[in-house]
Amino acid sequence: MSQLIFITGGGAGIGAAIAEAAVARGHRVALFDRDGDRVAALAARLGPAASAHAGDVCDEARIEAVLDSLDAAPDAVMNNAGIVQFAPLLDIAADDFRRIMEIDLNGAFVVARASARRMIARGSGSIVNVTSIGGIAVSPGTNAYAPAKGGLAALTRLMALEWGPLGLRVNALAPGMIDGGVSEPIYRDKKVRAARAGAVPLRRLGRLEDVAGAALFLASEAAAYVNGQELVVDGGLTGSLMAQIPRSL
């Protein structure tokens, strides 16, 4: 069934890949991004099935206005906008820490709640909160990103608990090491790229389309009984800890 899918951070990386895959499957997408030019260019390329909306996920009034401007409550929300800034905990400025939390956790909450109120009025809907394996297996230098994503995973379970009885499903999707989007600069280094790909049981980095496919699954009827889960899309990486440790037998 064709859905109207609201995608934050829809102008680039994972959000744009979800938008492309969604339109290819016959869905309509409303793309929300603080980079208005980028999101307008993508919507123009995707055609009449896509609309572009400039705005910041920290701006509750703007989110409300954009949701009101759509012709219906979204059937699904991809709560995907997020940022990362690498710095050790001992060095990161408190204002930078707060800004990351504000976008990656508070912003996701505001988008989910504004959408949920409209979906609950209709009695159905699905929310996918994009988290990260960085909230599960913390990585040095990721400061506020790790607790923001770990917090969003916990918030997902709480949303599923409170909104499930009202007709909504809420799940998280945790991408692993993805060859694109915010991680693109990491993989310009060929040695780092090969070492990281080699550490994954599937022996490759994730593709943007890998994440998009999983996101659309969670939003779809195929996932009708999946609620409050965090789907890890990492080629098996987070489950491979014991492969790093030698044993004698």
Ligand X SMILES: NC(=O)c1ccc[n+]([C@@H]2O[C@H](COP(=O)([O-])OP(=O)(O)OC[C@H]3O[C@@H](n4cnc5c(N)ncnc54)[C@H](O)[C@@H]3O)[C@@H](O)[C@H]2O)c1
> Which one of the spans 45-53, 80-88, 214-222, 238-246 is the region binding ligand X (CB under 6 A)?
80-88
CB of 24 to ligand X, least distance (A): 18
Q: Check residue 183 for interaction with ligand X (CB under 6 A).
A: yes
Q: Is 194 left (phi over 0), alpha (psi -120 to 50) or beta?
A: alpha
Q: Check residue 53 for interaction with ligand X (CB under 6 A).
A: no
145 is an active site residue: yes
Residues 6+ apart with CB under 8 A from 248: none
Q: Check residue 150 for interaction with ligand X (CB under 6 A).
A: no
Tell me how far apart the alpha carbons of residues 188 and 172 are, in angstroms, rounded to a whole number.
28
Q: Check residue 235 for interaction with ligand X (CB under 6 A).
A: no
Nearer to ligand X, 37 or 68 (CB): 37
Nearer to ligand X, 58 or 153 (CB): 58
Q: Check residue 143 for interaction with ligand X (CB under 6 A).
A: no
CB of 231 to ligand X, least distance (A): 12
CB of 232 to ligand X, least distance (A): 10
Q: Check residue 58 for interaction with ligand X (CB under 6 A).
A: yes
The site for ligand X, by CB under 6 A, has a size of: 28
Closest to 141 in 3D by CA, of 216, 87, 84, 211: 87
Q: Which of 145, 178, 183, 206 is catalytic?
A: 145
The residue within the footprint of ligand X, chosen from 74, 82, 150, 235 (CB under 6 A), is 82
Nearer to ligand X, 58 or 231 (CB): 58
- Within 197-226, the residues that bind ligand X by CB under 6 A are none
CB of 9 to ligand X, least distance (A): 3
Identify whether the C-beta of residue 151 lies closer than 8 Å to the C-beta of residue 105: yes
Q: Check residue 127 for interaction with ligand X (CB under 6 A).
A: no
Q: Check residue 33 for interaction with ligand X (CB under 6 A).
A: yes
CB of 246 to ligand X, least distance (A): 29
Q: Just list the catalytic residues.
A: 145
Binding-site ranges for ligand X (CB under 6 A): 8-9, 11-15, 33-35, 38, 56-58, 80-83, 103, 107, 130, 132, 175, 178, 180-183
